[in-house]
Amino acid sequence: MNHGPTPPVVDAEKPDQLFAVIRRHWGFDALRPLQEQAMRAVLDGRDSLLVLPTGGGKSLCYQAPAVLRNEITVVISPLISLMKDQVDGLRACGVPAIQLNSSLSPEELREGEQAALEGAVRLVFASPERMATASFRALLTRIGVRTFAIDEAHCISHWGHDFRPEYRQLRELKRRFPQASVHAFTATATEPVRADIAEQLGLRDAEILVGNFDRPNLTYRVVPRNEQYDQTLDVIRRHPGEAGIIYCLRRRDVDQLTPLLKSNGIKAIAYHAGMSANERKAAHDVFTAEQCDVVVATVAFGMGIDRSNVRYVLHTGMPKSIEHYQQETGRAGRDGLEAECVLLYSGGDVVTWKKLMQKSVGEADGPVDPQYLESAYRHIADMEAYCRPVKCRHRSLVEYFGQQYEAENCGACDLCLGDAEPVPDAQTIAKKILSCVYRVQESFGAAHVAGVLRGANTAAIRGREHDKLTTYGLLAQHTLAEVRDFIQQLIGQELLLQVGDEYPVLKLNAASWDVMKDRRTARLLAIPVPERSPKADASPKSRGSRGAEVSWEGVDRELFEALRSLRLEMASQRGVPPYLVFSDATLRELARVRPSALEKMRFIYGVGEAKLRDFGQAMLDTLDAQCDSRNLSRDNANAAPPPPRDETPRKLSGGAIVAAELFRKGASIDEVMQNLKRARSTTCEYLSDYIRVAQPASIARWVPDEVYHQVAAAADRVGASALKPIFVELNEAVPYDVIRLVVTHLVATEKN
Ligand code: ADP
Ligand code: ZN
């Protein structure tokens, strides 16, 4: 079995070596928030729990330290399909890794175990079931494993939304391997789950790191559902040839929608729990291998989806909790590039969920925890509150997870982007609707009331003489979809009630009367029509978000597509998913910078040594051919800013202000680190902020003159728009933090 190459042994003491390892294998030139702290905990052997949203970069936190230390880290992961992709991904980066699980033949298992015993691998992926076997534990004891990483750690908690009984055995880990440190990773944020994970795993004096829950590269939209198929097709057509996931509430919706999409020429595939394990695996593989664009699925689909270039997630109905919504939308834009999340919402979704839950309680084998329904209903109510057109979606989500959102306008949700215009005569419309509900004696549903208001000539209306009502035809100038949507919005604002499960009817409440007497104002938004295609060729508003504009800037689309098909070809030759060859972010940068030689390709984001060796030449050939025939410029400065994730503006937080004061007084980096108990990377960010704002004449206090001049000279030669070329130019001898400080200073003082 080929486990991949053996990396050179490095001295774990030097922090810069960690960066060197990350650069060499992954081709990244900066760490994301909390990564350094998390890696430090792993290197120090201190138990830890890292909570970062999906796509936040959790895996690097145990992978890079495993490479740096010359030792095995055991990774416990819930899904075998996930393990295979992770192993393939690591090998593509030149990191030796194996999986030990039931998908292997006995022969392969023996070989893998042998390789682990010989110390030929750095990462061993195993399922919790395997962890429970005595023979596997004996193997780990023989190897003397000192580090365990628990992926999707919320699966151990009853409080989480994805409890897995087999995870419970991991409680034994600390007892059986007392000398080892355990590191838990999850994207589930709520405090009780977090505390439960730490307790269940028996973490000792753990470093608990909780990241920012915002996903700035995602644009959220909530749209009233009226013409579901048309609305679905609209979203898909905004993303031609791009990957998307469409979530439906029920299997039968999946079964109806999938053929419909196919008949519209869309490469779609179905996925739900009613399919056999083989069928599901096949669907999963087809999607991961980029042989289809759209998966139509129930919530059963998702865990184990690592395809990083999912550009949109569409919910055709409201999910049953914000945790689910965050998890499901989290599968979009894992590569940090822009992606869109659209939720088609109707007030009826709440009724559907309640019915499903009552049914599941009715069908349960044993007694049901009495708190179950209560807690489930609360989750639904929170989710419904999110759907109301009241508060910025980014803010709503972040606040739900107990964090603060600073920006006034996120620039990436329907409300902040102004997709939906306020309806000018909202109050009058609201009053017409409410009085119609009164006229039909609060005994009819939304469809009937909307029909009366529009003056529909139907038997149901004539039969009840509702065509004789004063409100008949009062909203005839609006479409049926509009009137129904207005009704939903009033329900959303709790100015109107919808009661009853089977046949919900509209009823008035005190707030309704306040509106009718003009003591309260109703707000209505026109049905939003996001324009098409958030692409470079679309009008500015339709690009969806700032992120989209930034990340396509200067990218040659045709070249990007050519590189993308080359990636597909190379991936299928190797039997690995395309995103493991290169991420979309790397392809865009290649199609923007268009390096003219292999050594220049090393400057590109995501190109480490192994990938340069394995894929560099083929990429270069395509670049040459395309650039020659279409006369495209080469070696462009990489002017576009990094993906939006890394670009989130850093506000001068409390820490930064204190740090700035210390730096102003001449404190060294180490002193500030100790004083504020911050990681080096964070302290350097503070210093960088200080330099940018205060523009000191010299930074010799923190960077020796000699090094400063070296970096400045290198920046002169290769440009200062990206750090990586400077790092390479200086033979990787000057750490990134130092380069960043010098460049910040150069830029800050140059403007004067
Ligand atoms: P998570 O496990 O938190 O969902 P991943 O570990 O899958 O996230 O990382 C998401 C993506 O971000 C991956 O494509 C990964 O290669 C990339 N990534 C991780 N760390 C960095 C970094 N420091 N710089 C750039 N990209 C990174
Ligand atoms: Zn917003």
CB 605 within 8 A of CB 27: yes
Q: How far apart (Å, rounded) are the C-alpha atoms in residues 57 and 31?
A: 9
Handedness of CA 585, 590, 593, 595 (dihedral sign): positive
The number of the ligand 1 atom at minimal distance from the alpha carbon of 56 is 3
The alpha carbon of 52 and the centre of ligand 1 are apart by a number of angstroms equal to 11
Whether the CB of 86 sits within 6 Å of ligand 1: no
Element of type H or E holding 50: strand 48-51
Going by CA atoms, what residue is nearest to atom 14 of ligand 1? Answer: 335
Indicate whether 3 pLDDT > 80.
no
Burial class (CB in 10 A: 0-12, 13-18, 19+), 164: middle
Say which amino acid occupies 404. Answer: Q
Inform me whether the pLDDT recorded for 353 exceeds 50: yes
Q: Is 32 in the pocket of ligand 1 (CB under 6 A)?
A: yes
Closest residue CA from atom 16 of ligand 1:
57
**Do residues 177 and 144 lie in contact, with contact meaning Cβ atoms separated by under 8 Å?**
no
Ligand 1 within 6 A of CB of 681: no
- pLDDT tens digit sequence for 649-682: 334 456 777 788 888 878 888 888 888 777 787 8
Closest ligand to C-alpha of residue 216 is 2
Task: Give the per-residue pLDDT at 185.
Answer: 96
Q: Which two tokens stand for residue 583?
A: 């991420």
Which of 7-21, 395-409, 685-699 shows the lowest per-residue confidence on average (mean pLDDT)? 7-21
Average pLDDT, the chain: 86
| pLDDT for 67 | 96
pLDDT at 420 over 90: no
Which residue's C-alpha comes closest to atom 17 of ligand 1? 57
| 548 confidence band (pLDDT: 50, 70, 90) | low
Would the CB of 304 count as within 6 Å of ligand 1? no
End-to-end distance of the chain based on CA atoms, in angstroms?
60
585 CA → ligand 2 middle, Å: 24
pLDDT-based confidence at 189, cuts 50/70/90? Answer: low
Q: Tell how far the Cα of 645 is from the centroid of ligand 1, in angstroms.
A: 11
Residue 411 gets the label, from left (phi > 0), alpha (psi -120 to 50) or beta, of left
Strand, coil or helix: 453: helix
| 67-113 per-position pLDDT tens digit | 999 899 999 998 887 788 899 999 999 999 999 988 899 999 999 99
Least confident of 111-115, 563-567, 679-683: 679-683
Report the C-alpha gap between 391 and 397 in whole angstroms: 10
* Of 542, 582, 550, residue with least CA distance to 566: 582
What per-residue confidence (pLDDT) applies to 529?
55
By most ligand atoms within 8 Å of CB, the mutation choice from 24, 28, 60 for ligand 1 is: 60
Ligand 1 pocket check for 583: Cβ under 6 Å:
yes
Q: Identity (one letter) of the amino acid at 400?
A: Y
Q: What is the DSSP string of 543-587?
A: G-SHHHHHHHTT--HHHHHHHHHHHHHHHHHHTS-HHHH--HHHH
Higher pLDDT, 656 or 530: 656
Q: Is the CB of 82 under 6 A from ligand 1?
A: no
Beta-carbon-side half-sphere exposure of residue 479 (alpha carbons within 13 Å): 7
Q: What is the mean pLDDT of residues 304-314?
A: 87
| Complete domains list, the chain, with CATH | 17-210 (3.40.50.300), 218-400 (3.40.50.300), 421-526 (1.10.10.10), 553-630 (1.10.150.80), 655-750 (no CATH)
Residue among 23, 62, 88, 334 whose CB has most ligand 1 atoms within 8 A, to mutate:
334
Each residue of 120-132: pLDDT tens digit? 999 999 999 999 9
User: How confident is residue 286, by pLDDT bands cut at 50, 70 and 90?
Assistant: very high
Give the distance (Å) from ligand 1 centre to CA of residue 359.
40
CB of 308 shorter than 6 A to ligand 1? yes
Which pLDDT belongs to residue 15?
62
Contact 690, 650 (CB under 8 A): no
CA of 31 to the centre of ligand 1 (A): 10
Report CA Rg, the chain. 28
Sheet with 339-345, side-by-side order of all strands: 218-224, 339-345, 310-315, 243-247, 294-297, 268-271
pLDDT at 532 over 70: no
**Position 734, amino acid:** V
- Which residues are bridge partners to 123 per DSSP? 73, 97
Per cent of the chain over pLDDT 90 is: 49
Q: Compute the 3-state secondary structure of the chain and give helix, strand, coil in percent, each to the nearest 5.
A: 50, 10, 40
Strand order in the sheet with 207-210: 97-100, 123-126, 73-76, 147-150, 181-186, 48-51, 207-210
Measure 407 CA to ligand 2 centroid, in angstroms: 9
pLDDT value at position 9? Answer: 44
**DSSP code, position 361:** H
Tokens of 557: 């689309």
207: tokens are: 């470093």
CA distances from 278 to 80, 275, 286, 299, 305 (A): 13, 8, 12, 18, 16
With a pLDDT cut of 70, the percent of the chain lying above it is: 90
Helix 371-387, helix 393-400: angle, nearest 10 = 150
> What confidence category does residue 7 fall into, taking pLDDT thresholds of 50, 70 and 90?
very low
β-strand partners of 391: none
Distance, CA of 151 to CA of 162 (rounded, Å)? 13
pLDDT at residue 119 is higher than 60: yes
Give the containing element (helix H, strand E) for 488. Answer: helix 480-492
pLDDT score of 533: 38
pLDDT in tens, 589-646: 999 999 999 988 988 888 999 999 999 999 999 999 999 999 999 988 765 544 433 3
Taking a C-beta distance cutoff of 8 angstroms, is the pair 196, 38 a contact? no
- Mark 7-41 as b/e (b = at least 16 C-beta within 10 Å): beebeeeebeebbbbbbbbbbbbbbbbbbbbbbbb
pLDDT of residue 724: 81
Q: Determine the Cα–Cα distance for residues 110 and 246; give it in Å rounded to an integer.
A: 41
Q: For residues 409 and 314, which has the higher predicted lDDT (pLDDT)?
A: 314
* pLDDT beyond 70 at 563: yes
Helical H runs in 202-299?
Answer: 228-237, 251-263, 277-288
Residue 55 — very low, low, confident or very high, per pLDDT cuts 50/70/90? confident
Nearest to 740 by CA among 707, 694, 696: 707
